[in-house]
Structure 1
Amino acid sequence: MIILDDLDKKALDHFRGFVVKKDLVGIIKGGANVPAFVLEYLLANTCSTEDEEKLKEGMENVKTILRNHYINPEESTLIQSKLREKGRYKIIDKISVELDPQRDRYWANISNSNIKKATISDDLVKSHEKLLLGGIWAIIEMEYDPMITVGNTVYPFLVRDIKPIQLSTFDNTKISEKRKEFTKDEWKKLLLRSAGYEPYSEGLDDRKLNLLMCRLIPLVESNFNMVELGPRSSGKSYIYKEITPYAILISGGQGSVAQLFVNNTTGRVGAVGLWDAICFDESTDKLFKDRDAIPLMKDYMESGSFSRAKGGEISGSASVILNGNINQPVETVLQTSHLFSPLSDEVNHDTAFLDRINLFLPGWEITKFSPSNFTKHFGFSTDFFSEILKSQRKTTFYDALDKYFTLGSHLKQRDSKSVRRIVSGFIKLLHPDGEYTKEDIREYLVIAMEMRRRVKEQLKRIGGMEFWDTNFSYIDKETQEEIFVGLQEEKGSSLIESNPLSPGVCYTATSDGDTNALVKIEVVALKGSGKMNVTGTSSQEVKENIKNTYNYLRANERSILNEQHSLSGYDINIQISNLMGAYVSGGIGSAVYIAIISAIYKKNLKPGLAVLGNISIGGAVERAMNFADKVTLLSENGAKTVLVPMENLSEISTLPTSILGKTDVPFYGNSQMLLQKAVLGE
């Protein structure tokens, strides 16, 4: 019994003949080692229906075609015999071609049929150049002619014609028009079902769905470079192996200069010129056969072209994907090394190579797939789906984000290029009609910044200060607000975030004799009439600190704030959160002071900032009690900078050297110095 959901019905209404029930592939495939796009090519012609009888009939038809024409390797002798008896026979198989320079001719090799050195015409090879690069799946018309000889040897097999298993024509305007009939969520779901996944099944939440969408970007963006490291059985290579005839999977260590770039003997362009995507599987072992492939690959990844030995520039549009397994928990890798370390030794310390990677997908977040994660619903047949993806490679939305956002100062040219291309990829996938909103762009921009920042953070670990600028941010053109984008794995177990702090957020530590507390202060400044509200603490001492700081600001606002930012025009809400320790006590005035000003001016504070000390109602900076304990507590929980009153300067020698090694401890003597040292960019 077929149970259709609303999206199935919609897909059939608008794309009948081009959608297929995705679980049929598994049912028919059984033990046959035939790619999904071959089966779906056959299924879409007969099984794009919800009518159960027609579906059964279509499946029987496909089974018959496969039974009669698809060759399993163990049947190779039988098929050769059939060819000899009948003289001519159609088979479904993978065919590749090699040049025999001694005899100046091409030979076809037919994979499962185990036919070596079949005669094939030059014209057929010219029409299907991918035959020379790993081969293609096709419906092949074979002939048997014992009269074909070369010297004294008989080569009786002949390839008469080839029909590649992919659509012969495709009209992209249909996709643009039909996209308007679907909501964004429906379209995303349909794309993911087309790739074989069942969105929102167990373990596949919004975050993971966006990561799965990232796997499709190299298929819609030309010359896009991506790395994915993750556990085994999480489908890293599935997309490039099963759902498109336009990608090629190269096993680790197999990439040669002739295969990838150019054959210097024949002048024939390699894989980069003939495929949309080249996926290096198991790139943790070895990438290339020849050492000299690496400089060529660097050249190609940067510009989409490379220079060949005999002169002249050759260009290609293939995207490059490096996949590999990561065998340790990410936290462990980050403690001892960097996230590129599992890659092949040829490249894992080569910053020039790694900097060319546009997107680093955290495959460790994508869990191993269970049967429930694969869809049983309708999705685009893979040949149609691959044409949708291919057709998008000609367009670009490189400048789409400029309408709403500006990129922050830490994004250098390669970062900006990568972020723009990821955003463009998401628009092509989810808005092929070019209709999108500001919030759509914001969503894609945040993902894009994370995926490129992951590359930059690892480069910083390898190459040091050359790659120091990793605090990626974007500025909303409408509000001028700057928003920083962090990484899941960089947060680690630290309570204090290592990114620039949002306006109004600051950390401090308080001490009550033997016990210390780690405190987060959050201030929200709303247009209002000068009220102040404190939540999160019942301590009279803390409330007194806050009141004194507020009154000091109020009394000196002309010199500290300006007229447009007078406290009388804001309602100030202050939230005190105890992140660790017994309870919050006094000594938090300086941190509150910084938080209020940054909230009013919408200014970010420095990454991982904490402030010790108190400001009296008269503006005097009071010494921090239990100085060494507090700095140690803050440092061990992620503080990168702890601002300390000048009065504590004589105690600097009481700090452990391990703390001084990882946390900056600058001193301030007055509220003006405090402000200068706390605000980002000051």
Structure 2
Amino acid sequence: EYLLGQNCATDDEEEIQEGVERVRDILAAHYVQRAEAGAIRSDIKQKGFQRVIDKVSVDLVEKRDAYEATFENLGVSHVLVTEDIVKRNRRLLVSGVWCIADLSYSANEAKNESPYLLKSLKPIQMANFDLDGFIDGRSQFTASEWIDVLIRSIGLDPAQLGERAKLFQLTRLVPYCERNYNLVELGPKGTGKSHVFSEFSPHGILISGGEVTPAKLFVNNSNGKIGLVGYWDCVAFDEFAGKNKRPKPDIVDILKNYMANKSFSRGIEQVSAEASLAFVGNTSHDVGYMIGQTDL
């Protein structure tokens, strides 16, 4: 979307098509596919330089008093990053940012140093969030106009939706905005229930189908590491239970306590967290039938 915004910001159809072709060329030349990561690393070594598009996250390594970057798809880590880059793009330290980065290669004998060198880095998604700017901008819109902006931001055309349908779509965003907000949505297949939780925000995670353990979701008693509810703003479950699948009673009890009290008990202590929970699943029943059931 960033690249399209940079290259297709016009109403001229011919210029838009030219911009789309430029974006395709950029992605074909620089986007890192996981399956091709080994070949791209080899190209960087042989050529000495390569421009890549990848998701980059940065950690402060206290022992070395240095910032180190990890390139998710490329499979490269421990790449030194200047403090200036980190200051300008603080989100690199939180959840990672999609970037266009120039990498060079210089072999060295130090075993704990990466041969990859970061020459430049340019975020292609929002790396900083100006809340005051958004608040000021909001005042320029009416309520209905702002709803349309939000609907378009999640990839839907507001002109194709009625007011009630728009509010349904916005309801799915509430777990991202409110702490400890719990949501259940049941509906027919193919109605976009899980899309928002898997694609919309880097601050949420969707658990699809598979089993999840108390240690993974809440806290691991063996090492004290907090689980998903302590890391994400929203944890969503797709098909958490069904006709042929029942969650284990122990995790259901912990979930019920967490949703009621915003905390859970594991080991010898009570742990608080702020993650919202969303449960989405398919059903062939109508609303009247489901309301009449004591156990959905």
- 1:469-515 Cα deviation digits (max 9, x unpaired): xxxxxxxxxxxxxxxxxxxxxxxxxxxxxxxxxxxxxxxxxxxxxxx
In 2, the alpha carbon distance for the partners of 1:264 and 1:107 equals 30
1:242 aligns with 2:211: no
SS at the partner of 2:158?
coil
Where structure 1 has 5 or more consecutive residues not aligned to the other structure, the ranges are 1-39, 98-105, 131-135, 340-453, 464-682
Counterpart residue identity of residue 150, structure 2: L
TM-score by length of 2: 0.72
| 1:212 matched residue in structure 2 | 169
| 1:138 matched residue in structure 2 | 98
| 1:82 matched residue in structure 2 | 43
What pairs up with 1:436-451 in 2 under 5 angstroms? Answer: none
In 2, the alpha carbon distance for the partners of 1:255 and 1:96 equals 26
Q: Does the 8 Å CA contact 1:253/1:287 hold for their aligned counterparts?
A: no
What pairs up with 1:55-66 in 2 under 5 angstroms? Answer: 55-56=16-17, 58-66=19-27
SS at the partner of 2:185?
strand
| 2:61 matched residue in structure 1 | none
| 1:301 matched residue in structure 2 | 259
| 1:677 matched residue in structure 2 | none
Deviates more, 1:157-166 or 1:185-194: 157-166
Cα–Cα, structure 1 residues 81 and 462, in superposed 2: closer, same or farther, change >3 Å? closer
Where structure 2 has 5 or more consecutive residues not aligned to the other structure, the ranges are 59-67
Cα–Cα, structure 1 residues 216 and 146, in superposed 2: closer, same or farther, change >3 Å? same
Counterpart residue identity of residue 285, structure 2: P
| 2:286 matched residue in structure 1 | 330
Aligned pair partner of 2:149 in 183, 186, 190: 190
In 2, the alpha carbon distance for the partners of 1:303 and 1:121 equals 42
Q: Does the 8 Å CA contact 1:43/1:62 hold for their aligned counterparts?
A: yes
| 2:210 matched residue in structure 1 | 253
Q: Does the 8 Å CA contact 2:69/2:80 hold for their aligned counterparts?
A: no
Aligned pair partner of 1:224 in 175, 181, 191: 181
Q: Does the 8 Å CA contact 1:277/1:319 hold for their aligned counterparts?
A: yes
Q: Does the 8 Å CA contact 1:119/1:157 hold for their aligned counterparts?
A: no
In 2, the alpha carbon distance for the partners of 1:274 and 1:241 equals 16
1:181 aligns with 2:140: yes
Aligned positions, number: 274
Counterpart residue identity of residue 297, structure 1: L
Deviation at 1:194, TM superposition (A): 1.9
Counterpart residue identity of residue 46, structure 2: E
In 1, the alpha carbon distance for the partners of 2:103 and 2:212 equals 31
Cα–Cα, structure 1 residues 107 and 56, in superposed 2: closer, same or farther, change >3 Å? closer
Cα–Cα, structure 1 residues 177 and 258, in superposed 2: closer, same or farther, change >3 Å? same
Q: Does the 8 Å CA contact 2:57/2:71 hold for their aligned counterparts?
A: yes
SS at the partner of 2:205?
strand
% identical aligned pairs:
36
1:314 aligns with 2:263: no
Aligned pair partner of 1:68 in 23, 29, 35: 29
Cα–Cα, structure 1 residues 263 and 146, in superposed 2: closer, same or farther, change >3 Å? farther
Deviation at 1:127, TM superposition (A): 6.6
Deviation at 1:94, TM superposition (A): 5.0
Q: Does the 8 Å CA contact 1:262/1:270 hold for their aligned counterparts?
A: yes
In 2, the alpha carbon distance for the partners of 1:210 and 1:292 equals 35
SS at the partner of 2:235?
strand
Counterpart residue identity of residue 286, structure 2: V
Deviation at 1:226, TM superposition (A): 0.7
Aligned pair partner of 1:171 in 130, 134, 138: 130
Deviation at 1:49, TM superposition (A): 3.8
Cα–Cα, structure 1 residues 266 and 221, in superposed 2: closer, same or farther, change >3 Å? same
- 1:303-351 Cα deviation digits (max 9, x unpaired): 333334253x43332221111111x2327x82xxxx3xxxxxxxxxxxx
Deviation at 1:163, TM superposition (A): 7.2
SS at the partner of 2:226?
coil
In 2, the alpha carbon distance for the partners of 1:122 and 1:308 equals 38
Computed over aligned residues only, the root mean square deviation of the Cα atoms, in angstroms, reads 4.1
Deviation at 1:55, TM superposition (A): 3.9
Cα–Cα, structure 1 residues 174 and 164, in superposed 2: closer, same or farther, change >3 Å? closer
In 2, the alpha carbon distance for the partners of 1:182 and 1:268 equals 44
1:262 aligns with 2:222: no
Deviation at 1:224, TM superposition (A): 0.9
| 1:120 matched residue in structure 2 | 78
SS at the partner of 1:228?
strand
Computing the radius of gyration from Cα coordinates, the structure with the larger value is 1
Counterpart residue identity of residue 302, structure 1: A
- 1:596-616 Cα deviation digits (max 9, x unpaired): xxxxxxxxxxxxxxxxxxxxx
Tell which has more relative contact order, 1 or 2 (C-alpha 8 A, sep 6+). Answer: 2
- 1:51-85 Cα deviation digits (max 9, x unpaired): 55654454344333312221234433431321322
In 1, the alpha carbon distance for the partners of 2:246 and 2:57 equals 22
Cα–Cα, structure 1 residues 181 and 137, in superposed 2: closer, same or farther, change >3 Å? closer
Counterpart residue identity of residue 138, structure 1: W
| 2:11 matched residue in structure 1 | 50
In 2, the alpha carbon distance for the partners of 1:171 and 1:233 equals 35
- 1:142-198 Cα deviation digits (max 9, x unpaired): 665585659xxxx97769698776422222333333334333322222221222222
TM-score by length of 1: 0.34
Deviation at 1:119, TM superposition (A): 3.9
In 2, the alpha carbon distance for the partners of 1:54 and 1:295 equals 57
Cα–Cα, structure 1 residues 462 and 59, in superposed 2: closer, same or farther, change >3 Å? closer
